[in-house]
């Protein structure tokens, strides 16, 4: 059996010692460091997470499975609060019945078979490069801005594509060079690192980890704000596989199909005040905004961040 043949059931049924041997074998064959193999619980489900690292980037093992993806809007039973929120939005914007809307804004129900793979814990921001505090770009910006060392509170400085964050002592906490890149540039950057972006099916599976509910944590959503308003909650926690994914509607991720983005809508529902339920819907595991994906790839589309979820094949 190859590593790519490892299924969720096989991984779950292994002893801790056997699982660690498999994880170490995966690390050895792909020049990775095995960071940890540990038990995790999320939304009432349990899993054994295997965490790897390469050049500062972390990956988690996502075992393979034959899994149902997509969502049937007719299955959803809204809470009274969700129903009231949607009714208000539907009245204001002339939207269809909730079941019809959900089916139109999620991927179709389908059964797929996916191999085991390693998926990046964090999405890769193709337009961002981290700089050291001594980098010439950083020193130049500090001199131009006349930033005082020591004292003061955390602040931000932006100029010429460089973004610097200071700690409360006035020292540089982090510095980044932000560049606007194209989708093709992002693919090349990933390929140079021996990576590729997740396919739409892989992204959806990686996010939901086999959950059949609307969201990876269940069918519930907050009725007192949008996801961005809540820094704590199941949407902010790492998922069952240990991935930080689908946490913020402003951080939509591109996939191997350039017109299909997942994990958010660029903040459109939140910024547009569409209603709390519709704002949370953008974090649904199978959420798809076809028009948003097409707009991003049109001549009118504006891309200031290009996030990809890197995958390492185990074949």
pLDDT tens digits along 195-207: 999 999 999 999 9
Report whether 28 contacts 35 (CB < 8 A). no
* pTM given for the model: 0.87
pLDDT given for residue 239 in this prediction: 98
Instruction: Please tell me whether residues 277 and 139 are part of one structural domain.
Output: no
Q: How far apart are CA 310 and CA 54, in angstroms?
A: 12
CA dihedral (268, 293, 240, 78) positive or negative = positive
C-alpha distance from residue 184 to each of 127, 163, 199, 297 (Å)? 12, 24, 15, 11
Provide the token pair at 179. Answer: 């560049």
Q: What angle do CA 10, 27, 52 make, to 5 degrees?
A: 85
Instruction: Please tell me whether residues 85 and 211 are part of one structural domain.
Output: yes
Instruction: Please tell me whether residues 197 and 299 are part of one structural domain.
Output: yes
pLDDT given for residue 28 in this prediction: 97
Please give the average per-residue pLDDT across 274-288, as a whole number. 97
Provide the domain limits for residue 222: 64-114+181-310
Instruction: Please tell me whether residues 106 and 159 are part of one structural domain.
Output: no
Please give the average per-residue pLDDT across 48-69, as a whole number. 96
Instruction: Please tell me whether residues 106 and 245 are part of one structural domain.
Output: yes
Instruction: Please tell me whether residues 253 and 306 are part of one structural domain.
Output: yes
Does 284 have pLDDT greater than 80? Answer: yes
Residue 281 lies in a domain: yes
Residue 237 lies in a domain: yes
Query: pLDDT grade, residue 147 (50/70/90)?
Result: low
Residue with tokens 């990686």: 206
Instruction: Please tell me whether residues 185 and 290 are part of one structural domain.
Output: yes
**For 242-255, what is each residue's pLDDT tens digit?**
999 999 999 999 99
Instruction: Please tell me whether residues 279 and 300 are part of one structural domain.
Output: yes
Instruction: Please tell me whether residues 200 and 74 are part of one structural domain.
Output: yes
**For 84-122, what is each residue's pLDDT tens digit?**
999 999 999 999 999 999 999 999 999 999 999 999 999
Instruction: Please tell me whether residues 241 and 205 are part of one structural domain.
Output: yes
Tally of structural domains, the chain: 2
Instruction: Please tell me whether residues 169 and 194 are part of one structural domain.
Output: no
Instruction: Please tell me whether residues 220 and 297 are part of one structural domain.
Output: yes
């Amino acid at each position: 059996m190859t590593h790519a043949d490892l299924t969720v059931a096989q991984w779950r049924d292994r002893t801790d010692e056997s699982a660690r041997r498999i994880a170490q074998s995966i690390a050895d064959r792909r020049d990775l460091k095995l960071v940890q193999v540990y038990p995790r619980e999320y939304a009432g489900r349990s899993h054994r997470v295997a965490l790897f690292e390469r050049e500062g980037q972390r990956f988690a093992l996502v075992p393979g499975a034959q899994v149902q993806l997509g969502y049937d809007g007719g299955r959803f039973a809204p809470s009274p609060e969700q129903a009231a929120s949607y009714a208000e939005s539907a009245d204001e914007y002339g939207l269809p019945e909730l079941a019809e809307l959900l089916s139109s804004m999620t991927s179709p129900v389908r059964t797929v078979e996916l191999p085991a793979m390693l998926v990046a814990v964090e999405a890769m921001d193709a337009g961002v490069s981290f700089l050291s505090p001594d980098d010439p770009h950083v020193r130049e910006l500090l001199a131009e801005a006349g930033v005082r060392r020591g004292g003061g509170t955390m602040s931000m400085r932006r100029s010429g594509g460089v973004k610097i964050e200071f700690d409360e002592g006035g020292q540089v906490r982090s510095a980044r060079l932000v560049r606007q890149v194209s989708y093709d540039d992002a693919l090349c950057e990933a390929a140079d690192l021996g990576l590729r972006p997740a396919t739409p099916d892989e992204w959806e599976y990686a996010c939901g980890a086999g959950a059949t509910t609307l969201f990876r944590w269940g069918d519930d959503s907050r009725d007192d704000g949008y996801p961005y308003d809540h820094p704590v909650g199941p949407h902010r926690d790492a998922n069952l596989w240990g991935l930080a994914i689908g946490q913020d509607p402003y951080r939509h991720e591109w996939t191997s199909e350039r017109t299909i983005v997942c994990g958010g809508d660029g903040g459109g529902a939140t910024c547009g005040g569409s209603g709390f339920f519709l704002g949370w819907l953008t974090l649904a595991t199978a959420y798809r905004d076809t028009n948003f994906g097409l707009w991003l790839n049109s001549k009118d589309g504006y891309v200031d961040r290009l996030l990809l979820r890197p995958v390492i094949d185990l074949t």
